[in-house]
Amino acid sequence: MATQIAPGAARGEDVEYMSGGRKFQTDCSILRSTSNYLNSPLIRDLYCNEGLRLSGPDVITTSLIPQFYDAFDTLRDENSVARMFSEDAARRPELRAWLDERYLRNVTLDDVRDCAPGTFGAGVRELLDAGFQLQFAHLGPAEGDYDYMRKRRAQVHDFEHIVTGLKPSMPGEIALFIAHMTNSCRYYQPGLAKETALVSSFLSTTWVLRTALHYPEAMVAICDSLEKGAQLGRAMSRPFYMEKWEDYFDWQLADLRAKFSYPEFTDFHGDWDWVEP
């Protein structure tokens, strides 16, 4: 005779097993934890909104990114980040040279107007002709190494799509997030890798969840993007933003990828043109 199990009994056993029999309780009358990030009402609200919301005409894909910086900047230990940059620069002379130079350059249509078809510069020209605004407003002096890294990364973000061949779509963006996370973990010490790739960690996890919840038809491409992003990150010898890409406008893209040993992606799965409605 089959044994009947009371409703909820199996779940109770799962809870007992997974929690190790521990009960969670607090004597505090407000929400507190051992995580400074969980203790932040701004981050809790932002993470839930970015991961669970739908996209729409009032809140597009990138609308909440400025709020990310507002929320996380308050918790960054600037002295610790500066120390880690100094430590990593001491063991990586090319990083020291890059930080000291503080290279920034504005790019206009005149810089790429005459670039031949198939070149990196031609790809930049296509973006400009299509109305894209490259993020070259970030030209002011940096307040420190971290601030410079963030400025330069924002400057060359649109270059990433052209050089890597990963489209400016949801799968393409997520692939670049994963590439940054993978490469940062290989290049910097763990604490600095966390800080330099934190926006990628935040957006990749929330955007994957949001797509899985509301747009499951796009998940084949999203899963493909996770794989390709990790492959690209392992191939990169150092972060993308450390290169002077403006020196390569006349290079054919295939030659440019070969120079930096970037994969030449051809086998794409799912709809890599997909963007949120």
Query: Which tens digit of pLDDT belongs to each residue from 265-275?
Result: 999 999 999 99
Cβ burial, residue 219 (10 Å; 0-12/13-18/19+): middle
Q: What integer pLDDT is reported at residue 128 of this predicted model?
A: 86
Range name among 80-94, 132-146, 253-267 with the lowest pLDDT average: 132-146
Tokens of 244: 């002077």
pTM of the model: 0.88
Vertex 208 angle, CA 258 and 233, to 5° = 25
Range name among 24-38, 78-92, 263-277 with the lowest pLDDT average: 24-38
The DSSP code for 119 is B
Candidates 186, 91, 93, 192; CA nearest to 149 is: 192
The residue with greater pLDDT, 138 or 14, is 14
* 186: pLDDT strictly greater than 60: yes
Query: Which tens digit of pLDDT belongs to each residue from 206-263?
Result: 999 999 999 999 999 999 999 999 999 999 999 999 999 999 999 999 999 999 999 9
